[in-house]
């Protein structure tokens, strides 16, 4: 619930972003220098029970299939990219949840840790809602920001992974009926990933130290009844990368990552990839500090060390990258930054 959105009459075609952010008052999580500084979201890996249906769904959200980057002899990944250059890597899940249930979201009494949703900025939430409905996409939820006006809508992909379209603070851009197009979604790349965690204070510190999310944007006293804690805490990097931390986790740490347990992928957001300026320097800093990580190229031999990502479902980016896990087992990939051509389809 942060980062950039679109503005002006050209918003439907991917205009320059304007700020639409949760305010930051200068508070920091820690004064300790971070081991890495993430720059932007690069891509997310999404597992689904139906790749073709998911590709069709995300096409409506502005993502084009990128043929030259798609599945090769060594991987099973379908690459989608939007007009801002952010990508989705879509793979077939090894196991489907019973009755197509979202393992992270759909059981009201069981809330495991993990990446719960993706969020994109839009110029006008009401217009976005009407657009989704015109595409036959069901609205699964709505929210405001301290008032009655709807500031975000939620929808589910065919495997029930949650996507949020939001505009939190800026005035809604006036749009004529039918003017909202797929290109208006996420013109400033992805806004944030929502990640459910167990221990808010400890995780805030871990993310600040390990990923560089040092700016304390939003926090509150959590309810002792953890299932009542729906509102996220937010921290931010110097480069304006936000993660929204969902504090209602109530499962045992020994259960591990429900989407990757046993090396079999289940539907959902398997990992989020963030760019850094220098992967080798990050590796050196992690090694010196004792932070566990694995090179993406070494995943095939790392399963015994607790890295449960099937190598055939992890794309070779053609540039250095590593994986790191937060203390709850949620995966992040850190990749050498690269200039990526955006999708050419904007209508």
Higher pLDDT among residues 68 and 345, named by residue: 68
Residue 345, pLDDT above cutoff 70: no
Instruction: Give the phi and the psi of residue 211 in degrees, each rounded to 5.
Output: -110, -10
Q: Report, in angstroms and rounded to the nearest whole number, the Rg of the chain calculated over CA atoms.
A: 19
Residue 311, token pair as written in the block:
């190598």
Closest residue by Cα to residue 49 from 103, 106, 116: 103
pLDDT exceeds 80 at position 337: yes
Which of 197, 302, 301, 172 minimizes the C-alpha distance to 248?
A: 197
pLDDT, tens only, 321-332? 999 999 999 999
**Three-point CA angle 153, 275, 336, nearest 5°:** 155
Q: What are the pLDDT digits (tens) for 14-57?
A: 444 456 888 899 999 999 999 999 999 999 999 999 999 999 99
Element (H, E) at 246: strand 242-246
Contact 318, 335 (CB under 8 A): no
Inter-residue contact 114 to 269 (CB < 8 Å):
yes
Q: What is the pLDDT of residues 228-251, one digit of tens each?
A: 777 899 999 999 999 999 988 899
Q: Which domains does the chain have, with CATH numbers?
A: 40-170+186-268 (3.10.180.10)
pLDDT band at residue 303 under the 50/70/90 scheme:
low
Please tell me the pTM assigned to this model: 0.90
- Percentage of the chain surpassing pLDDT 70? 90
Mean pLDDT of 83-94: 94
Per the prediction, the chain carries an average pLDDT of 88
Helix (H, G, I), strand (E, B) or coil at 290: coil
**Greatest alpha-carbon span in the chain:** 56
CB atoms within 10 A of CB 125: 21
Q: Model confidence at 7, in pLDDT bands (50, 70, 90)? A: very low
């Amino acid at each position: 619930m942060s980062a950039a959105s679109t503005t002006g009459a050209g918003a439907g075609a991917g205009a320059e972003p304007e700020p639409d952010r949760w305010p930051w008052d200068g508070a920091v999580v820690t004064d300790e220098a971070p081991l890495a500084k993430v720059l932007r979201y690069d891509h997310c890996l999404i597992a689904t029970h139906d790749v073709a249906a998911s590709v069709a769904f995300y096409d409506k959200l502005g993502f084009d299939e990128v043929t030259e980057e798609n599945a090769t002899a060594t991987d099973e990944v379908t690459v989608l990219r939007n007009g801002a250059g952010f990508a989705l890597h879509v793979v077939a899940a090894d196991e489907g949840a019973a009755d197509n249930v979202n393992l992270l979201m759909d059981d009201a009494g069981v809330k495991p840790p993990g990446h719960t949703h993706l969020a994109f900025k839009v110029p006008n939430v009401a217009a976005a809602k009407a657009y989704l409905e015109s595409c036959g996409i069901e609205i699964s939820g709505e929210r405001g920001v301290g008032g009655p006006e709807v500031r975000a809508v939620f929808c589910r992909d065919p495997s029930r992974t949650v996507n949020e379209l939001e505009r939190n603070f800026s005035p809604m851009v006036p749009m004529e009926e039918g003017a909202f197009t797929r290109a208006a979604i996420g013109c400033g790349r992805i806004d944030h990933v929502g990640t459910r965690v167990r221990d808010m204070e400890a995780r805030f510190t871990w993310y600040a130290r390990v990923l560089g999310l040092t700016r304390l944007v939003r926090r509150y006293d959590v309810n002792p009844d953890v299932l009542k804690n729906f509102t996220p805490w937010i921290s931010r990097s110097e480069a304006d990368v936000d993660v929204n931390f969902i504090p209602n986790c109530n499962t045992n740490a020994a259960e591990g990552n429900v989407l990757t347990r046993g090396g079999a992928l289940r539907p959902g957001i398997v990992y989020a990839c963030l760019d850094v300026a220098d992967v080798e320097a990050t590796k050196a800093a992690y090694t010196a500090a004792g932070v566990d990580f694995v090179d993406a190229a070494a995943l095939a031999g790392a399963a015994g060390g607790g890295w449960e990502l099937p190598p055939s479902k992890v794309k070779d980016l053609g540039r250095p990258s590593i994986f790191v896990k937060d203390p709850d087992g949620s995966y992040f990939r850190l990749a050498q930054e690269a200039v990526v051509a955006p999708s050419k389809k904007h209508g």
